[in-house]
């Protein structure tokens, strides 16, 4: 299950991440039309992502996988667009029978999002992703969301000193990941959220490499690695595409994804989404200054009259992040919802 019980517009970083995913898929559609693809995900109670790809990308073959009966019944009630097939089963069953679902929907390609809200069992989640990749065809897209909060690996004991805590966390992470933990790339001093993210990315890179089954012509290319805070947890999403070596030049030429600001050219190249919480009055002030100073973060920060953090560097960083992600923010949709042109309503209908 996805674990979503809070609407996306109340989780701005998650909302932005989903918008970026949809934008990425739009770029991929320049290479290969997506309207005949199957879109499968752990859609949660609101099925917001299924509606989004239907409205924005014209994908009509939609499947939501949900293990919790009460969420499944909510899906059937909410049903934001016609034709979403909601199946009560866990993700591992879906992945095991992936070929059957492709056949059932009479399609050759798929976009699959495994959105794991729970922090464990991480090894199982990553192996499940690897199993999915092994079943995928050229042109398929796979996305995984993982929890990267280091305190979910090991809870620090009262009065435990930092070296002891880091050593204990390091050993626990090795046990959790098993042979997916890549030796020599990390040590105990790196046991923080960044270190956990790196360990998980190394594990994902390994299962992606193994999924080629020795076929050097087939590659699973990382397209986007995004990290963000979602409530009390740090999360990371990784999106990959399955390509044959002969298709790569055409893929990058037509999709122009390398020019996308959020493109990840390697597994370890991540982008952070960290939009500050703002009052309506603060947001209006900042938006006015953004327009006046043409999005120059330093000038906006100087003219702002208040800080967004305790020191200048953090405050400027927070403001810069807001400016960078502003176009994808739910706040923009909220403030502009009454003035959105009729022709553009369909693009925002998943939210309004």
Q: What angle do CA 199, 203, 209 make, to 5 degrees?
A: 145
Handedness of CA 288, 290, 293, 299 (dihedral sign): positive
Tell whether 185 is covered by a domain: yes
Q: Which of 92, 77, 22, 28 is nearest to 50 (CA)?
A: 22
Tell whether 332 is covered by a domain: yes
Tell whether 2 is covered by a domain: no
Question: Residue 6 carries which DSSP code?
Answer: S
DSSP string, 291-332: HHTTT-HHHHHHHHSS-SSSSHHHHHHHHHHHHHHGGG-HHH
Higher-pLDDT residue of 341 and 180 is 180
pLDDT for res 331: 72
Chain centroid, CA 205 distance in Å? 16
Picking from 273, 297, 324, the residue at the C-terminal end of a domain is 273
pTM: predicted TM-score of the whole model, two decimal places: 0.91
User: Do 203 and 133 have their domain in common?
Assistant: yes
Q: What are phi and psi of 64, to 5 degrees?
A: -115, 135
Handedness of CA 284, 289, 294, 298 (dihedral sign): negative
- Please give the structure tokens belonging to residue 146: 């993982």
Q: What are phi and psi of 187, to 5 degrees?
A: -135, 175
Contact status, residue 31 vs residue 345, Cβ threshold 8 Å: no
Question: CA torsion angle for 85, 89, 90, 94 (degrees, to 10)?
Answer: -60
Query: For the segment 228-263, what is each residue's pLDDT rounded down to a tens digit?
Result: 998 789 999 999 999 999 999 999 999 999 999 999
For residue 81, the tally of other CB atoms under 10 A from its CB is 16
User: Do 17 and 102 have their domain in common?
Assistant: yes
User: Do 20 and 99 have their domain in common?
Assistant: yes
pLDDT for res 209: 96
The domain of 284 spans 280-348
pLDDT for res 173: 98
Taking only Cα atoms into account, the Rg of the chain, rounded to an integer number of angstroms, comes to 21
- The C-alpha atoms of residue 92 and residue 128 are separated, in whole angstroms, by 7
- Please give the structure tokens belonging to residue 266: 């390697």
User: Do 241 and 333 have their domain in common?
Assistant: no
Contact status, residue 331 vs residue 7, Cβ threshold 8 Å: no
User: Do 258 and 293 have their domain in common?
Assistant: no
User: Do 217 and 332 have their domain in common?
Assistant: no
Tell whether 328 is covered by a domain: yes
User: Do 163 and 119 have their domain in common?
Assistant: yes
H-state helical runs in 144-228: 162-177, 193-210
Picking from 273, 294, 316, the residue at the C-terminal end of a domain is 273
Q: What is the mean pLDDT of residues 2-30?
A: 82
Picking from 247, 273, 299, the residue at the C-terminal end of a domain is 273
User: Do 243 and 301 have their domain in common?
Assistant: no
Q: What is the CATH number of the domain that holds 172?
A: 3.40.50.150
List the strands of the sheet with 38-41, edge to edge: 84-88, 61-66, 38-41, 110-115, 141-147, 233-244, 218-230, 271-273
Confidence of residue 171 (pLDDT cuts 50, 70, 90): very high
Q: What is the mean pLDDT of residues 296-306?
A: 97
Tell whether 74 is covered by a domain: yes
User: Do 213 and 315 have their domain in common?
Assistant: no
- Please give the structure tokens belonging to residue 259: 């020019």
The total domain count for the chain is 2
Query: For the segment 117-156, what is each residue's pLDDT rounded down to a tens digit?
Result: 899 899 999 999 999 999 999 999 999 999 999 999 999 9
pLDDT for res 333: 53
Higher-pLDDT residue of 334 and 111 is 111
Tell whether 3 is covered by a domain: no
pLDDT for res 352: 39
User: Do 337 and 211 have their domain in common?
Assistant: no
User: Do 178 and 303 have their domain in common?
Assistant: no
User: Do 314 and 193 have their domain in common?
Assistant: no
């Amino acid at each position: 299950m996805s674990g979503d019980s809070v609407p996306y517009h109340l989780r701005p970083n998650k909302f932005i991440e989903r918008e970026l995913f949809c934008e990425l898929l739009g770029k991929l559609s320049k290479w290969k039309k997506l309207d005949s693809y199957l879109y499968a995900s752990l859609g949660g109670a609101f099925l917001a992502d299924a509606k989004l790809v239907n409205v924005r990308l014209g994908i009509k073959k939609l499947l939501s996988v949900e293990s919790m009966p009460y969420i499944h019944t909510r899906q059937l009630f909410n049903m934001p667009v016609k034709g979403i097939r909601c199946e009560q089963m866990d993700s591992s069953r879906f992945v095991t029978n992936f070929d059957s679902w492709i056949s059932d929907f009479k399609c050759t390609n798929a976009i699959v999002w495994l959105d794991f809200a729970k922090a464990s069992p991480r090894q199982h989640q990553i192996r499940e992703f690897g199993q999915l990749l092994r079943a995928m065809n050229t042109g398929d897209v796979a996305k995984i969301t993982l929890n990267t909060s280091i305190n979910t690996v090991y809870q620090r004991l009262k009065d435990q000193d930092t070296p002891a805590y880091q050593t204990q966390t390091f050993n626990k992470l090795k046990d959790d990941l098993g042979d997916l933990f890549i030796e020599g790339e990390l040590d105990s001093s790196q046991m923080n959220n960044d270190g956990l993210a790196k360990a998980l990315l190394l594990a994902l890179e390994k299962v992606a490499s193994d999924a080629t089954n020795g076929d050097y012509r087939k590659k699973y290319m990382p397209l986007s690695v995004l990290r963000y805070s979602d409530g009390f947890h740090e999360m990371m999403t990784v999106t990959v595409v399955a390509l044959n070596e002969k298709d790569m030049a055409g893929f990058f030429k037509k999709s122009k994804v390398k020019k996308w600001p959020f493109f990840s050219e390697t597994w370890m190249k991540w982008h952070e989404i960290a939009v500050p919480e703002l009052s309506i009055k603060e947001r209006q002030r900042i938006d006015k200054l953004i327009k006046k100073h043409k999005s120059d973060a330093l000038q906006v920060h100087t003219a702002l009259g208040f800080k967004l953090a305790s020191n200048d560097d953090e405050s400027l960083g927070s403001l810069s992040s807001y400016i960078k992600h502003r176009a994808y923010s739910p706040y923009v949709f909220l403030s502009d919802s009454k003035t959105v042109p009729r022709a553009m309503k369909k693009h925002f209908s998943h939210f309004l």
